[in-house]
Structure 1
């Protein structure tokens, strides 16, 4: 990146990353220090509970365990991915790309901080319906998911110019 100022898409991305990170860490602090003392299931609606879960693996608990993989490899891998996405963000061509990448970055950093501080990611949002429970998740996971969904929707349904910018932005981010 040249010495020019950050573009509007990158500024929006960094602001959204900061917002997700702060909201994620505040809600996790609230759950751990206030709500889940003692840990229990709190029914909010017939389809939503607050719970306390510890994810030592990756998405949906894959590769869960207490080994070195979880303690060091997963946070280092997540940090490397966050840095690559940040590099991509610096070259974002549209506000939607900036927002999307920022949501992903903020979520990734929030979960990395949990792994480094607590040894696992704190999950507490529990949705269920018709006997099916979605794995518990948190604000960081929501940021990552919404950011990825926005990127996919934009690349599939955006106008031709927008799709071209996304493709160019992704190629420059490599």
Structure 2
């Protein structure tokens, strides 16, 4: 790997780290301002909430007996290692921005699992009595990265691997 590629790898890994830090800062603010279980209405379709999710996205397996902590922690570690490796080995790949977003989100939620035992969720969108499961910025990063990858899959391949 040449110096330019090393710098690009460092840039994308730094972006992922900043995204994880922003996620953690937002969760620390929620923990400071809202007691666990509290809801603060903002408008007719959005609340700030403070919940802990021991499961995965959309509270999947949140009611399991505890094994899910090990499972989701292991997945987050493996996915983070794979994404960091891809960023280091292919820093000019057109998928790298998506990888950085997913890595930042995975690390943000992994930190929660390791330090809190569950993921802090605080964004609550709803319509009438129908609530979307609460989520956080790490989830936004992950979904955005996955969406970018999906969009890229529909675009024709370009010869220049640096093009995004």
What TM-score bracket applies, with the shorter chain setting the length? Answer: 0.7 to 0.9
Gaps of 5+ in 1: 167-174
State TM-score, norm by structure 1: 0.81
Query: 1 CA distance for matches of 2:102 and 2:12?
Result: 9
Where in structure 2 are the equivalents of 1:15-164 lying within 5 Å? 15-33=14-32, 35-37=33-35, 39-65=37-63, 67-90=65-88, 91-94=90-93, 96-157=94-155, 159-161=156-158
In structure 2, the CA distance between the partners of 1:129 and 1:10, relative to structure 1 (3 Å rule), is farther
**The residue matched to 1:161 in structure 2 has which SS?**
coil
Q: Deviations over 1:36-87 (max 9, x none)?
A: 1364211112111101111111111112246442332321221011111111
Query: 2 CA distance for matches of 1:30 and 1:139?
Result: 13
Whose helix proportion is higher, 1 or 2? 1
Q: Deviations over 1:106-134 (max 9, x none)?
A: 11011011011111000000111254311
Q: How many residues align?
A: 160
In structure 2, the CA distance between the partners of 1:6 and 1:125, relative to structure 1 (3 Å rule), is farther
Q: Quick check: 112-121 or 123-132, which moved more?
A: 123-132
Root mean square deviation, CA, Å: 2.3
In structure 2, the CA distance between the partners of 1:82 and 1:38, relative to structure 1 (3 Å rule), is closer
In structure 2, the CA distance between the partners of 1:127 and 1:9, relative to structure 1 (3 Å rule), is farther
**The residue matched to 1:160 in structure 2 has which SS?**
coil
Query: 2 CA distance for matches of 1:89 and 1:108?
Result: 15
